[in-house]
């Protein structure tokens, strides 16, 4: 079932903001209006609690020193320590980090884990750095944001172009500087298993997306088996959900990454494609598939379209051409408000980012619990718990969507924001 977006959303469409932070603020306003939140409460939970900009000087292998700029934003900690990934990307900006931190606040509340929202980033291109330069960058950035970090304060995780190795360096730097070298594994999640990581964390975001898609398919009576899937962004989140859909007999007909895309109408061989990407660094050139440009790929007829790269993939410009039943936002902020309106008008069922990709933070929470308890779970326990959290959260959002006749995005924001407002009110954090 699809409902038209609220009047407030539709008024956005004339001058749709593309800046992620404006989008986050606008979507907050719409949900706050719908919840009838007081102006005091709105201003209390809308803005970030702490914003830190750090200078990150790094000695390059050449001997030259290059200055990078990094950020860590704690949006809200009323329900628990700030939680959110670290992005290393040339397009990182403070506004992007503020938006991503805000979305983390609603996301942790939607899946009801006892965390707040945070995010970090460094403006850099890791593809142009050697491993030793990357390590120095990660360690210096960690030293810069050290005053904010801690297992009970702020817990980073991987995001775009950061990985478990970078988390291990961050954990080591924190442990050396704050705990006399004794390991503090709970200060970051998404670590390698050898430093207290959790089984199942690496796959958790994609697996959570998959559970949301399964629930959406059940709701819409679209069988997963035999469905057609398109994935934009074949990284951690995108490749895992592609592989799970493939193993449930959905035909993954096209995928792409930052270098280009591949298309095969009868379905790509996903395990082989993953090996090809591992070997060559890209999906481009995969034998037996045709090259495909992004705009053409997003317009392919399919049942499930998964934007799993960056913000603003589906906009007012290209949303008219999207021909799918379901859009599953594995990425954060891939659909602009203008595109939201167009997709809804065309009967597309959208699973919003704050719900769809929350499997990552859910297993990050499991990892943190295991670190704090010094007791580790097996893969079945992690996967079963994740499935239950995702199914429950999807059902709660769907319930609001159908009861209040609002879009899935607004329903998810209503759930997340109301939980944050409730904890803020009971703690008495505002007059």
Q: For residues 132-171, which are near ligand NAD according to CB under 6 A?
A: 158-161
* 120: contact with ligand NAD by CB under 6 A: no
- The active-site residue out of 83, 98, 107, 119 is 119
Q: Does 235 bind ligand NAD (CB under 6 A)?
A: yes
Q: Which residue is nearest to ligand NAD (CB)?
A: 235
Site string for ligand NAD, 321-350 (x = CB under 6 A): ---------xxx------------------
Whose Cβ is closer to ligand NAD: residue 56's or residue 335's? 335
Does the footprint of ligand NAD cover residue 308 (CB under 6 A)? yes
Degrees, nearest 5: CA angle 30-36-41: 90
- Phi, psi (rounded to 5 degrees) for 89: -160, 150
Give whichever of 145 and 310 is closer to ligand NAD, judged by the CB atom.
310
Name which of 41 and 306 has its Cβ closer to ligand NAD.
306
Q: Catalytic site residue 119?
A: yes
CB of 276 to ligand NAD, least distance (A): 13
Tokens of 347: 């009967």
Give the residue from 336, 320, 333 showing the smallest Cα distance to 15: 336
Cβ contact 208:358 at 8 Å: yes
292 binds ligand NAD (CB under 6 A): no
205 makes contact with ligand NAD (CB under 6 A) = yes
Q: What whole-number distance in Å separates Cα of residue 345 and Cα of residue 408?
A: 13
| 393 lines the binding site for ligand NAD (CB under 6 A) | no
**What are the tokens at 240?**
């895992």
270 binds ligand NAD (CB under 6 A): no
**Interacting stretch for ligand NAD, rule CB under 6 A, among 28-36, 304-312, 386-394, 410-418?**
304-312
> Which residue in 70, 16, 83, 111 sits closest to 333, CA to CA?
16
Greatest C-alpha distance within the chain: 64
Sequence-separated (6 or more) residues with CB below 8 Å from residue 410: 5, 6, 9, 27, 30, 31, 34
- C-beta of residue 24 within 8 angstroms of C-beta of residue 425: no
Residues involved in catalysis: 119
Residues interacting with ligand NAD, by CB under 6 A?
158-161, 205, 232-238, 256-258, 294, 308-310, 330-332, 357, 360
């Amino acid at each position: 079932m699809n409902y038209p977006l609220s009047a407030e959303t539709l008024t956005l469409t004339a001058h749709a903001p593309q800046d992620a932070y404006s989008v986050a603020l606008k979507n907050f306003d719409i949900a706050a209006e719908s919840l009838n939140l007081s102006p005091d409460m709105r201003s209390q939970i809308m803005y970030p609690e702490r914003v830190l900009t750090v200078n990150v000087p790094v000695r390059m292998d050449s001997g030259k020193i290059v200055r990078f700029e990094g950020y860590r934003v704690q949006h809200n900690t009323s329900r628990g320590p700030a939680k959110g990934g670290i992005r290393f990307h040339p397009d990182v900006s403070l506004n992007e980090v503020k938006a991503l931190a805000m979305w983390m606040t609603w996301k942790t509340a939607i899946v009801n884990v006892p965390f707040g929202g945070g995010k970090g980033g460094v403006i850099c291109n890791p593809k142009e750095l050697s491993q030793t330069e990357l390590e120095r960058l990660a360690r210096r950035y960690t030293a810069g944001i050290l005053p904010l970090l801690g297992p009970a304060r702020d817990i980073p995780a991987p995001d775009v172009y950061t990985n478990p190795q970078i988390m291990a360096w961050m954990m080591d730097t924190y442990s050396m500087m704050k705990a006399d070298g004794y390991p503090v594994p709970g200060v970051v999640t998404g670590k390698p298993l050898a430093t207290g990581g959790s089984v199942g964390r690496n796959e958790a975001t994609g697996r959570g997306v998959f559970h949301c898609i399964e629930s959406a398919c059940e709701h819409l009576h679209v069988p997963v088996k035999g469905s057609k899937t398109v994935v934009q962004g074949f990284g951690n989140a995108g490749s895992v959900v592609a592989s799970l859909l493939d193993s449930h007999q959905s035909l993954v007909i096209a995928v792409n990454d930052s270098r280009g895309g591949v298309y095969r109408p009868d379905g790509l061989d996903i395990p082989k494609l993953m090996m090809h990407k591992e070997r060559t660094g890209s999906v481009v050139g995969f034998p037996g598939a045709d090259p495909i440009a992004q705009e053409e790929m997003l317009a392919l007829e399919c049942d499930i379209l998964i934007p799993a790269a960056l913000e603003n993939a589906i906009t007012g410009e290209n949303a008219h051409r999207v021909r799918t039943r379901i859009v599953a936002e594995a990425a954060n902020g891939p659909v602009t408000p203008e595109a939201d309106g167009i997709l809804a008008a065309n009967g597309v069922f959208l699973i919003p980012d704050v719900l769809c990709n929350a499997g990552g933070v859910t297993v990050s929470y499991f990892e943190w619990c295991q670190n704090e308890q010094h007791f580790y779970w097996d893969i079945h326990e992690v996967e079963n718990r994740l499935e239950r959290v995702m199914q429950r959260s999807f059902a709660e959002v769907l319930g609001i969507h159908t009861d209040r006749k609002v879009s899935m995005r607004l329903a998810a924001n209503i759930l997340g924001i109301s939980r944050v407002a409730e904890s803020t009110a009971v703690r008495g954090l505002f007059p």
